[in-house]
Structure 1
Amino acid sequence: MQSVLVVGGTRFIGRATVAEFREHGYDVTLCNRGHHPNPFGGDDAVELVEADRREDEQLRAAAEAVEPDVVVDLVAYHPRDVRVATDIFADSEAYVFVSSGAAYAADEIPKREGETPLKSCSESEAVDDSHETYGKRKAEGDRAVFAAADEGVRAMSVRPTIVYGPHDYTERLDYWLARVDSHGAVVVPGDGGSLHQLAYVEDVASALRVVAERGTAGEAYNVGDRDAQPLGDLLDLLAAACETDVRQAYASERELSPDLEPDDFPLYRDRPHLLATEKLHALGWEATPHREALEPTVREHRESDRDGSDRGPRRDVEADILDRLR
């Protein structure tokens, strides 16, 4: 049985990643600071090694304790994290860095690995923690992966677009789910044609495994739904998954309240964000159909207390807009 060390692993993508590797016969160990409860407890618990990955010696001790065949790095948010990890885990059979579609610099449609330029990252940006530098730091992490591969490390990168599914603490999709599930009408910015490709969390987890098993050192692989849905179509899919009907009230920038912009709504894009996924498909990876993915997403959303209320306009603001649009 091969062993995998998941750096991170107790939340959202991590939960799905642990489940994916376990379902495929791997012996999984989590490595994190222990700040979040281990969701894999009980009789069939997943072993947890506590370590702060930003403390080199702690990460090295975890590596020596586990001696993993595969490392999946979910929480490398700075380029140095990747450089240190690819050094510490240089002898592992595979190191997979979770990057992001935000690493791309050009707004090409679609964005392609090895063709679309990556963002630059200055020394000061590389140690920053702000949202504004997130994509830049992920791009520099990718370059650290490529450099490690040049030195003989089987290091690879996976670039997901916006991820959705059960246990999504970002609450971006929860905002729309709560609206669709509880109200007969929702305000949709623009004409419903905004396109921001998503990626189902279990598909991201399977991509991490497939790349670890079959990927090529020094390569990056995009992950996104095979069929990208414009926002209006996505809301129709959400309504179907919730077994309800919803009226979409389209609002131009002029029809929104003075303090609102279209991009105040989650998942809105004024220009399509689309990642090419042929490279990952060539490894044998497959995306889950939307209707199949949304069933567990809706079920877990209803069981949670997440409503995404702080991710977009308040309902009373939305109600005022709906009144004006009648």
Structure 2
Amino acid sequence: MRVLVMGGSGFLGRAVVSAALARGHEVTTFNRGRSGADVAGVEAVRGDREVAADLERLAEGRSWDFVVDTSGYVPRVVGESVRALSGKAATYAFISSISAVDGFPGKPAAEEAAGWSCEPDAGPDDGDYGVLKAGCERAVEQGFDGNALIVRPGLILGPHEDVARLPWWLTRISHGGRVLAPGDPGAPMQLVDARDVAAFTLDQAERGTSGQFLVTGPAGNATYGEWLGFCKEATGSDAEFVWVDDQFLVDQGAGTFVELPLWGGPPSAVTANFWSVPTARAEAAGLRTRPVAETVRDTWAWLREIPEDERSYGAKTRHGMAPEKEATILAAWEARSA
């Protein structure tokens, strides 16, 4: 089949492209060439999706069986792409986010739940990440003349991760020694590999499926303690985890999710449903996910080929805690416990 990937050189986009090529598809990518090199074997079209002339040049004389949009964040911009490509493919698969679900994670997510209130022509300042993703979904659903497939992934990890949550933890744990481990080691997580999201998206797009799917791993497919343990095992580290109480970390000024990746702080109503996303509809449609330990091992195998001083821990936000701050918090925790 002929496939167009909007993006295709970053994290999830690269996984989609690699999987599509492995299936024997002809793949075109459309991007600015700034996020990394395209996967070998694609037809790479350089352009900016915010420039009408670039979209026109992309669409001129070309058609595809389906489009996979991995780089849409602003409804107005996504809508322009949809209008340019409508009639050029049978299916438009948009990679959204669980964050687009109205009320989540304070309220439970539901299969095919409504998205946050956001117009399909909203601009970049008309909401936060999740709100704008909901507007992007509407831009696809209302503007594309064909099948509109909306994929709402949960927390994605895996090789080539450019948010660098797992890469930071792998690097830190590989150094060994006493490692600040946040909160409750038994806290359940719900993680999914980018390659599994890519495979599911391609499966549905090949079938011409439309509608919305929540796509992530099974609830509780790892605990926080198991996840860090997988990192220790993969790296062969002698790390000693020191589990520090949630509230103590907050009192010490530790930052959730970014400074200590995937740590959400003390349990609260605001985040109560973050790790309990239902996936029955996606599973019935064929979603299969690999063990978290495999994702961790494969990510380390990729990461270890990159010199440590060249590793990026988040293109927009610097992930991870500074060694000095970690040492200070550990010392304070040990003094409190003495």
**TM > 0.5:** yes
User: Does residue 99 of structure 2 align to residue 99 of structure 1?
Assistant: no
Partner residue in 2 for 1:302? 304
CA contact 2:117–2:131 (8 Å) conserved in 1: yes
Q: 1:318 aligns with which of 312, 326, 332?
A: 326
1:107-166 deviations in whole A, cap 9, x for unaligned?
Answer: 267522323x42222699x31259x611111011112233246xx521111111222111
Moved over 4 A (4+): 193-196
Cα shift at 1:196: 4.7
The one-letter code of the counterpart of 1:133 is D
1:134–1:262 distance in 2 versus 1, CA, 3 Å: closer
1:108–1:25 distance in 2 versus 1, CA, 3 Å: farther
Cα shift at 1:254: 4.8
1:52–1:268 distance in 2 versus 1, CA, 3 Å: same
Partner residue in 1 for 2:167? 174
CA distance in 1, matches of 2:230, 2:140: 37
Partner residue in 2 for 1:82? 78
Cα shift at 1:261: 4.1
Cα shift at 1:281: 1.6
1:228–1:60 distance in 2 versus 1, CA, 3 Å: farther
TM, length-normalised to structure 2: 0.84
The one-letter code of the counterpart of 2:66 is V
% identical equivalent positions? 32
Partner residue in 1 for 2:197? 204
CA distance in 1, matches of 2:149, 2:120: 23
| Structure 2 stretches lacking a partner, 5+ long | none
CA contact 1:238–1:294 (8 Å) conserved in 2: yes
Secondary structure at the aligned position of 1:300 is classed as helix
Aligned pairs (5 A) from 1:160-171: 160-171=153-164
Partner residue in 1 for 2:252? 258
1:54-83 deviations in whole A, cap 9, x for unaligned?
Answer: 122321321224311111111111112332
CA contact 2:221–2:292 (8 Å) conserved in 1: no
CA distance in 2, matches of 1:80, 1:286: 33
CA distance in 2, matches of 1:308, 1:84: 31
1:196–1:136 distance in 2 versus 1, CA, 3 Å: farther
Partner residue in 1 for 2:3? 4
Give the superposed CA RMSD.
2.5
1:233-276 deviations in whole A, cap 9, x for unaligned?
Answer: 21112222223353322222553363334454211224341322
User: Does residue 186 of structure 2 align to residue 184 of structure 1?
Assistant: no
| Structure 1 stretches lacking a partner, 5+ long | none
Cα shift at 1:22: 0.7
CA distance in 2, matches of 1:161, 1:238: 20
Aligned pairs (5 A) from 1:1-326: 2-41=1-40, 45-91=41-87, 92-106=89-103, 107=105, 111-115=109-113, 117-121=114-118, 126-128=122-124, 133-148=128-143, 152-214=145-207, 216-217=209-210, 219-226=211-218, 227-256=220-249, 258-263=252-257, 264-269=259-264, 270=267, 271=271, 272-273=273-274, 274-304=276-306, 305=308, 306=311, 308=313, 310-326=318-334
